Chains A and B, each alone.
Chain A
Amino acid sequence: MRSLGTGFWVAVALAAVGFLVVPSLILQSPIEPNMGFVQKIFYFHVPCAIMMFLSTFVCAGGSIAYLFKGSERGDRLAVAAAELGVLFGVCTLTTGPLWGRKAWGVWWQWDARLTTSLLLFLMLVAYLLARRYGGPAGRKLAAALSLFAAINVPLVYKSVDIWRTVHPKTTVVTTLDARMRVAFWSAFLLITLVWTLLLIIRMRLERARADLAALRLDAEDELAEGRR
């Protein structure tokens, strides 16, 4: 297998710098008067939610390539993205209640945004379970499931505008104070970089597994020839 390129290691170095710089930018950003210090969770909570959406779209894209063109690469991309969707879903669904407890006084509220987000997370979990335990048709079943998950993403995003919810609306990012905006976009860039790096290494693992399966088939063929 090819070694990871220079670009990958430059990105890792950039992410390491980001880990040092971004928290200080967040601490320097002004404190929101209504919610206070707990609002600072927002700077990582929202990018994590966006990465969950992005993962779902990438998973659906890879699944389409696999379902309609039989692309193995598309399938590898889909499973890597689905896992990242679950990872960032865990981050979103645990940081959100921490914020909610302080801002709303409750850990969880069955409102449209929270419920549809949980549903999206469960769909991604179902994708991984279908692949693992779905038998021979599991991969195709999971790929079809990912399309439904992708349809759910716009609903999750627009839910706060369609229904009355306790969750802040989509306009919250566009109306941020200038210093808050710097902190938010730098955190967003850092999380996107981390997501990209994780996707690259996860796809490498999937490719290595495919190589191993092909090698095992060769070994079995050779063994069968030897017996004849």
Chain B
Amino acid sequence: MTMMTAPWKRIRSALLAVAVLAAWTGTALAQEFEKVENIPKQEIPAGRFVSIAYGIIWLAVLAYVVMVAAGLKRVNQEIADVKRQLGPKG
């Protein structure tokens, strides 16, 4: 096993200290926020979103009612037609 001399030990410690310092300052810089003034305010319109959400629900329900009612009307019409074809026995 080779023994490390005193100057090499000092150099290694110094390099280690530099690496730790660089890592710490790098993280600190990355976490720093930069203050910017007079930028346009980003506002998501909540009222519009709520209206759209309710609108979607009631439109979907209304469309479904119309669809089922149309289907019922068509089937009832067909039943009447077939009954007419069958005559008095039907």
B50 in contact with A38 (CB, 8 Å):
yes
B90 in contact with A215 (CB, 8 Å):
yes
Contacts of B82 in A (CB 8 A): 212, 215-216, 219
Distance in angstroms from B68 CB to nearest chain A CB is: 5
Is A109 at the interface (CB under 8 A from chain B)? Answer: no
| A87–B57 CA distance with the chains assembled, in angstroms | 9
Among the stretches A115-123, A174-182, A202-210, the one at the interface with B is A202-210
| A102–B51 CA distance with the chains assembled, in angstroms | 13
Give the dominant DSSP class at B's interface. Answer: helix
Contacts of A99 in B (CB 8 A): 49, 53
Having A38-B46, A38-B49, A194-B61, one finds 5 other A-B pairs with CB under 8 Å, namely: A98-B50, A98-B52, A201-B72, A205-B75, A208-B79
Q: Which residues of B contact A (CB under 8 A)?
A: 44, 46-47, 49-50, 52-54, 56-57, 60-61, 64-65, 68-69, 71-72, 75-76, 78-79, 82-83, 85-86, 89-90
Q: Which residues of A contact B (CB under 8 A)?
A: 1, 23, 36-38, 40-41, 44-45, 48, 83, 87, 90-91, 94-95, 98-99, 101-102, 194, 198, 201-202, 204-205, 208-209, 211-212, 215-216, 218-219, 222
